Structure 1
C-alpha cells in the first residue's frame, strides 16, 4: 500500500454510526481525509482501496474482532485500538498486536486528536525504518536464516526480527549480524566429523538463540 500522500488519510472501523460520525467530523475539521467502515470486512476492503496512513479500529465488531482486523492490516497500516474495555487483557492484546495507542470510549476530543497526530508520526517512522531494513543486505540474509530454521514466511520473519530488536533495545542490523553468526556456528558444527565439547556447546547456544525468534516467545 502506498503511503506517500500530502494529506494523511485515516480509516475508522466501528459499528457504531454515531461514533463514526463524531470521529469523522473531528478529523475532517483538522484537514485529514477519512473513510469509515462499520464492520471488519468492509474495513479491510476500504484499506485496500484507500491506502490509509492510520486505522482506528474498534475491538468489538459484528463480524471479525478488531484484533483480527488489526492483524490483517499490519504492518502496512498502523492502528489505534478503540473500545470501552479497560481490562488489562484487552490492553495487552492490543500491545502485542502492535497498537500505537489505546482509546477508551467516551473520547475526549483534544486527547483523541493528540493521539492521532502522534500515531501518524510514529507510523511514518516505522514505515521508513521498515523500508531501510528491507534494503539492508545483512538483514535480508538473516531473514533467510530465520525462514529456514523456524519455517517462517518472510513477512513473519521480518516481524519477529524487528519486534525482538525493539524488545532488547538493540539495532535490528546488529541483531541480524548475531543471527548470521549463530547460523555460521551451526554450519561449522555440522561440518566437523568429530565436534569437540566446545563446538557442541556453541551449537547448543546458537540453536537456543535462534529459537528465541520463534513467534510467541518472550
Structure 2
C-alpha cells in the first residue's frame, strides 16, 4: 500500500515542488496551505506522515502539532522551518514533532527522514 503524506506548506512554489517530488517517489500526497486546513485534514484523512511548516496562516504549525498530540495522534510529524535556534528546536520537539528540518533543505534529506519514520510505523 502506498504511504499517504500530508504536506502543510503555505509557500505555493515550495509546496508544488515537494508535492511533485514526493509523488515521483511513489507517495500519495494531500496538500494544505494553512494550519486549520492542515489540522482538519490530519484528523480526517489519517495520513501516515505529516510534513508541517512552522509558519502558517490561521494556525502555526507548532500549534497544529500540539493539538494533534493532545488528541492522541501518534503520526510522525516532520516540522519544517527557517528558524534555526536551539530554542526553536526545543519548542518544536516539546510540541510533539518527531523531527525538525531547517529550510533550505535538500529533498534527498526529506526522503531519507520519511523512509526512516515510515519504517517505524
Q: Same fold (TM over 0.5)?
A: yes
Partner of 2:111: 113
User: Gapped runs of 5+ residues in structure 2?
Assistant: none
Of the candidates 28, 32, 37, which is equivalent to residue 42 of structure 1?
A: 37
In 2, Cα distance between the equivalents of 1:96 and 1:71? 8
Aligned Cα RMSD in Å?
Answer: 1.2
Q: Following the alignment from structure 1 to structure 2, what is the Cα–Cα distance between the partners of residues 18 and 119? A: 25
1:124-143 matched pairs, under 5 angstroms: 124=121
Structure 1 residue 23 displacement after superposition:
1.0
TM-score with structure 1 length normalisation? 0.52
1:8 aligns with 2:6: no
Cα offset, 1:46, TM superposition = 1.3
Q: TM-score w.r.t. structure 2 length? A: 0.90
Give, in whole Å, the separation in 2 of the partners of 1:60 and 1:73.
17
CA distance in 2, matches of 1:84, 1:111: 16
Does 2:97 correspond to 1:102? Answer: no
Q: Which residue of 2 aligns with 1:53?
A: 48
Higher relative contact order (CA 8 A, sep 6+): 2
- Asked which structure has the greater CA Rg, the reply is 1
**Alignment counterpart, residue 78 of structure 1, candidates 76, 79, 94:** 76
In structure 1, list runs of 5 or more residues that go unmatched: 1-5, 125-218
Runs of 4+ with >6 A deviation: none
Decide whether the 8 Å contact of 1:14 with 1:57 is kept in 2: yes
For residue 83 of structure 2, give the secondary structure of its aligned residue in structure 1.
Answer: coil
Aligned twin of 2:13:
18
CA distance in structure 1 between the aligned counterparts of 2:81 and 2:12, rounded to whole angstroms:
14
Higher helix proportion (structure 1 or 2): 1
Kindly provide the CA deviation profile for residues 54-106 of structure 1, in whole angstroms up to 9, marking residues without a partner as x: 11111111111111101122242220010111011110011112222111111
Pair 1:67 & 2:62 matched: yes
Aligned length: 118
